[in-house]
Each structure stands twice: as C-alpha cells, then as structure tokens.
A and B are shown apart, each in its own frame.
Chain A
Amino acid sequence: MNIESLIFFDLVITVFILVVALIAVGYYFWRYAKKASGKIGITEGGSGENADLSQAREKAIKMIDEANNKALDIISKATLSTDTVSETFKQEMSHTSSIQIKEFKKATSDFAKIYFQVLQDLKAKNIEVFQNISKDIEVNTTKEITNYKESMEKLTVLSQEEVKKKIDTDYAVLKKEMEDYKNQELQKIESGIYELLENVSKLVLGKALSLSEHEELIEKSLKEAKKEGIFR
C-alpha cells in the first residue's frame, strides 16, 4: 500500500473523530441550554433575571453557531483535503497504473523476446540433433548395406555351390528315378504279359484240363519231387 493512501485514510479517521467530538460538544451545549431554560422557567417572575437569561441564551446560541461554523469549516476543510487527497490518489493510481502497464508491457516484450530466443535455440538444437541423427542413420544404413552386400555376395557364392550340388544330386536322383520308372514300366509290361498269359491259360488250360489230367499232373509233380530228392 502506498504512503498517499495511508495519509488519506488517516485524514478520514481524524475528520470522523472531530465530527464525533463536535457532535458531542453540540449535544453537551444543547443539554446545558435546555437545563438553563428550565431553571429560567422555574425562576420566572423577575425582569432582571429574564434579561440575564436572554443574554445567556443569546450567548449560548452564538457559541453554538460559532461552534457549528467552526465544525462546518473543519468539515469543509477536511472535505477539501479529502478531495485533494483523493485527486492525488487518483493521479498516483493513474501514474502507478501507467507505470505498471508500461512495466508489464516491457516484461511481456522481454518474455516474448526470451521465449522467441529459447524457441530459436531449441529449433537450432533440434536441427542439430536431427542432423546428427540423420548422419547416424546414414552411417548405420551405409554400414548395414555394406554388410548386407557382403552377406549376399557370400550367400550367392554359397548358393551357387549349393545349387550346383543340388542339381547334381537331383540329377542323380532323377536319373535313378527314370531308371526305376523304366524298370517299373518294363515290369508292368512283363506282368501284363504274365497276366495275359495266365488269363489265357486259365481260360484254355483250366477248362481244357480234365480232372484225370489234373491228377496226372499232380502225380507227375510228386514223381519229379521224388526224383529231385525232396522226400529224402
């Protein structure tokens, strides 16, 4: 709180006390006058006393008027002083406000400048970081590509060898499969022939041979078996 405002409030309080004191004094005189007039009423009857009373009354009224005037004067002075102080306070407030606004504007401007500066710094830093990252990525990527290339070259060489081996193996397997297939087909043809012959034999011999001829064939088989020494 500024000094001007403190003075202003002190003055207001002083004026208030003075007004209260004036009212108290007025009240006191009013009561005194009332008492005095009462006493006059009681002692009415003598003209000399009446003159004194009217003199006293007039004196009292004059004193009250003077007091009133003085009070009014004090109040007007106080009011004037209060107005002056208020005006001064207003001016001070206006001045202070303008100063504070200016300071605030300045502070805002400074803050904006600092903020802008910080942003610029951050931007610069970020750009630098990004550049570094980009560089790292470039280096890493180049390294990876080189490694990949080397691996691929190795793999290609290995693959070529593997493929050659596989081709050789597959060729051998295929050759064997072809051979097997050929044999199988030949066997099929042969078995087909066998089947054909068997079927023909079944049709011709099976039906053509009589029971007696069958029995003779079996006996012949037994004879042959004996000849070959099976029953020894």
Chain B
Amino acid sequence: MKKDVLIYYDLITSLKTTQEVESFVSEIDTLMFEFYNTKGLLIHKVLDSISFGTVGKIMQVFLKNNLDIHNKDTFVNFFQTLKILIKKLKVIKLVLAFDPTRRTIERLHNFVKENIGVGYVLDIEVYRDVLGGAIVIFNGKYKDFTLKKNLEEVYKSRKNEILSNRI
C-alpha cells in the first residue's frame, strides 16, 4: 500500500500551488472524459487532449513504476487514486507583500516540504501593504508575521516617545 502511494509522490510533490492543483485536476478530468469516449483504447490519442508537460509527467510515472498505460484498469485506477490523493492535499494560505516568482514558489514549497511535511500546497495572495514577511492562514488559524504588524507593535510600545519626538 505504501509502495502504491509512493508511486504518486513525484506527481503530488510537483503540485506547489492551488492554481496548479486546479489546473492538474481539470486535465485529469479531461483525460478521463476522452478515455471513456474513445473506442479501441487509443491512449496516445487520449493523451493528446491534455498539455504536453502533464503528459510527460504521467508517462514518466508510468515508466518509472513499470505500469502498463494501455491497461484499462491500471489506467483508470491510477487516475482515480491520484484524484483521491490530490483531494487530501492541505492548503497553506500565505499573504505576501510581492508577487512571487516561480523560483520563489519552489523555494517556499521546498521549505514547507522539508520543515512541515509532504502533502501541502500554497495558496498565495498579494497584499503590498504588509511590506514584508507573511500572514499565514492554515485550517482556520491565522497568524500575522508581517513587517507591518511588527512596525505597529513597535509603535504601540514606543508611542509616547515617537509622538513627543514628532511634536
């Protein structure tokens, strides 16, 4: 069973954000739809209905794990299990001061994978007023670690000093 789950490890860990997850799920749905509507199991034709990158990832998993892509049951079970696992992914929402690049997203996702665990994806929102750091929201819990928040706390604690200097 553990071995079965590990088959999907690369695919699951390749999904870093909620946007990527949505896109990937949509492609699986399209693939399954084409599969059930194509006579004679022309898998290559079925795979043409999704993006080249995703086809590459899927083919790689099948090859790496010696799975027969032309086997109807294997094919269907693979994608059904994959969808179940994707549904189990946990979402960490981050409010950032800037729009992160793909490299930054990879770095942050790797950080999460190493420090928190596997099976997390990032939902990123940009709000420039936070200045820096991040607001972290997970499973209904909210924590503000932004520079804005830090500055406000500094101001509150040293309010009188700042005001007297201003006047």
A positions within 8 Å CB-CB of B: 189-190, 193-194, 197-198, 201-202, 205-206, 209, 211, 213-215, 217-226, 228, 230-231
Interface residues of B in 76-131 (CB under 8 A from A): 92, 94, 96-98, 101, 104, 107-108, 111-112, 115-116, 128-129, 131
Size class of the contact patch on chain B: 35 or more
Nearest-CB residue, chain A, relative to B154: A197
How far is it, in angstroms, between the C-alpha of A55 and the C-alpha of B57 when the chains are bound?
198
Pick from A189, A193, A202, A221 the residue with the most CB of B within 10 Å.
Answer: A221
**Is A230 touching B141 in the complex (CB atoms < 8 A)?**
yes
Q: Which residue from chain B places its CB closest to the CB of A204 in the assembled complex?
A: B131
Question: Once bound together, how far apart are the Cα atoms of A211 and B131, in whole Å?
Answer: 12
Q: List the interface of chain B (C-beta within 8 A of A).
A: 92, 94, 96-98, 101, 104, 107-108, 111-112, 115-116, 128-129, 131-136, 138-139, 141, 143, 145-148, 151-152, 155, 159, 162-163, 166
Which of B92, B101, B108, B147 has the most CB atoms of chain A within a 10 A radius of its CB?
A: B147
Q: Which of chain A's residues have a CB closer than 8 A to the CB of B129?
A: 198
Instruction: Give chain A's interface secondary structure class.
Output: helix
Q: Which residue of B lies closest to A189 (CB)?
A: B163
Known: A197-B151, A197-B155, A224-B145. Is A214-B98 also a contact (CB below 8 A)?
yes
Contact B98 A219 (CB under 8 A): no
Contact of A230 among B115, B138, B147, B152 (CB under 8 A): B138
Which single residue of chain A is at the shortest CB-CB distance from B104?
A: A215
Given contacts A198-B151, A230-B141, A222 and B134 within 8 Å (CB-CB): yes
**Complex A-B: 6 CB contacts under 8 Å:** A201-B151, A202-B128, A218-B108, A218-B134, A221-B135, A221-B136
Shortest CB–CB separation between residue A2 and chain B, in angstroms? 134
Are A211 and B134 closer than 8 Å at their CB atoms? no
